[in-house]
């Protein structure tokens, strides 16, 4: 079991990473929590597959509850949030209660927001069970829910006591969930780490086939990259925005599909294609790197037909993004593979042109 430390100004916590480390969760928990109440927020599928592993590691003397949420982005709603508050209050959970988010990014975001706000804040542990959550969303403390007008518009920063990522749990994931997680890994390679990008060029087929050694390497590298960014910019005031490469376009697509038929990781992959298109059409990115990036992204299959997209509506959705400042949309772009830049959009017509890559089926 490897440990990656996230050292912040007011707190620090470890990310535990390994293959088959679920048997050591109790050991990690004992280091950080000695209370008597534990709440697991999860979904029925994750609990059916892996609940016995987690349950066997929880202290027998603790008062425990398992609360289920829908297995979809629809769980990140005001209605689910209110229902969870009611469950916790009716069961008389107190300020010392620990909340464990046991699932993918949706579960982690929702459980973390509950922990940040219930009784003005209770302890929290991230136990991610999807590749996307292990390489990205479980790290850094960003939690929240969606609004009908946009993705993650209601949220907070809530750092966990620790993050616990076991690559073994990924073997039960549907192939589409592996693809979604790989989108976030490609994001790191394109915007921050050329060596990781080059590794993906060689090993992406093995990762898609759930090769444990390859996935373990990608989880470790991604966690280290994100931890380093978070330590430099916890509250996303500047540098941390680089982690949104492809997301501003992708969030608009997710909202347009009502957070239902298009998964977050798929939207990020499509959003990165748009970001590459924007950069190359405005002379920021060389054609060779554009083609190279697009070639890697296209190796991740997505069932998506962009012919019916309303491009102007997508641009309008982008104006609601959290990164809009003074009415101007700010993008993360790359100037070459592994090197990013921040760009303020002056002409929104350029955004519409970038979305056209999706209607052309490239």
Reply yes or no on whether 10 is catalytic.
no
Grouping H, G, I as helix, E, B as strand and the rest as coil, residue 325 is strand
Reply yes or no on whether 254 is catalytic.
no
Residue 340 counted as an annotated binding residue:
no
Catalytic-role residue among 187, 251, 292, 317:
251
Reply yes or no on whether 352 is catalytic.
no
Reply yes or no on whether 147 is catalytic.
no
CA distance from start to end of the chain: 41
Reply yes or no on whether 244 is catalytic.
yes
Catalytic-role residue among 10, 60, 92, 120:
120
Residue 103 counted as an annotated binding residue:
no
Catalytic-role residue among 158, 179, 187, 226:
226
Distance between CA atoms of residues 108 and 76, nearest Å = 10
Reply yes or no on whether 76 is catalytic.
no
Catalytic-role residue among 236, 263, 292, 322:
236
- Dihedral over alpha carbons 38, 39, 42, 45 (to 10 degrees): 70
Distance between CA atoms of residues 175 and 170, nearest Å = 10
Catalytic-role residue among 73, 80, 177, 184:
184
Residue 151 counted as an annotated binding residue:
yes
Grouping H, G, I as helix, E, B as strand and the rest as coil, residue 191 is helix
Residue 10 counted as an annotated binding residue:
no
Reply yes or no on whether 226 is catalytic.
yes
Cα distances (Å, whole numbers) of residue 13 to 4, 20, 231: 9, 21, 11
Reply yes or no on whether 264 is catalytic.
yes
- Reported as half-sphere exposure (CB side, CA atoms, 13 A), residue 151 has a value of 29
Q: What are phi and psi of 301, to 5 degrees?
A: -70, 135
Residue 142 counted as an annotated binding residue:
yes
Reply yes or no on whether 236 is catalytic.
yes
Reply yes or no on whether 83 is catalytic.
no
Residue 40 counted as an annotated binding residue:
no
Known binding-site residues equal 105-109, 129-130, 142, 151, 184, 247, 264
Binding-site residues for Zn(2+):
184, 247, 264
Residues annotated in the binding site for NAD(+), as ranges? Answer: 105-109, 129-130, 142, 151
Q: Which residues are the active-site residues?
A: 120, 142, 184, 226, 236, 240, 244, 247, 251, 264
């Amino acid at each position: 079991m490897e440990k990656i430390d996230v050292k912040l100004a007011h707190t620090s916590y470890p990310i535990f990473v390994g293959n088959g480390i679920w048997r050591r969760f109790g050991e990690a928990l004992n280091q950080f929590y000695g209370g008597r109440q534990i709440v697991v927020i999860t979904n029925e599928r994750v609990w059916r597959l892996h609940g016995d592993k987690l349950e066997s590691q929880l202290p027998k003397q603790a008062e425990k509850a398992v609360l289920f949420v829908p297995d979809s982005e629809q769980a990140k709603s005001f209605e689910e949030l209110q229902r969870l508050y009611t469950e916790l209050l009716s069961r008389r959970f107190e300020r010392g209660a620990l909340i464990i988010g046991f699932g993918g990014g949706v579960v982690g975001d929702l459980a973390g927001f509950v922990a940040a706000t219930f009784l003005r804040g209770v302890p929290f542990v991230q136990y991610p069970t999807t590749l996307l959550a292990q390489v990205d969303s479980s790290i850094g403390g960003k939690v929240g829910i969606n609004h009908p007008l946009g993705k993650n518009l209601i949220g907070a920063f809530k750092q966990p006591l620790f993050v616990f990522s076991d690559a073994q749990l990924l073997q039960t994931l549907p192939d589409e969930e592996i693809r979604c997680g790989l989108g976030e890994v490609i994001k790191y390679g394109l915007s921050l780490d050329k060596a990781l990008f080059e590794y993906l060029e060689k090993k992406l087929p093995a990762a898609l086939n759930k090769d444990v050694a390859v996935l373990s390497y990608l989880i470790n590298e991604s966690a280290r990259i994100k931890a380093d960014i978070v330590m430099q910019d916890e509250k996303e005031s500047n540098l941390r925005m680089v982690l949104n490469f492809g997301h501003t376009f992708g969030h608009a697509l997710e909202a347009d599909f009502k957070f239902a038929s298009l998964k977050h990781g798929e939207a990020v992959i499509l959003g990165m294609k748009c970001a590459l298109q924007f950069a190359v059409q405005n002379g920021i990115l060389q054609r060779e790197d554009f083609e190279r990036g697009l070639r890697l992204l296209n190796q991740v299959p997505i069932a998506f037909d962009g012919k019916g997209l309303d491009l102007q509506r997508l641009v309008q959705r982008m104006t609601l993004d959290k990164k809009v400042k003074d009415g101007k949309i700010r993008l993360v772009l790359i100037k070459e593979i592994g090197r990013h830049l921040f760009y303020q959009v002056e002409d929104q017509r350029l955004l519409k042109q970038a979305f056209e890559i999706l209607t052309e089926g490239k």
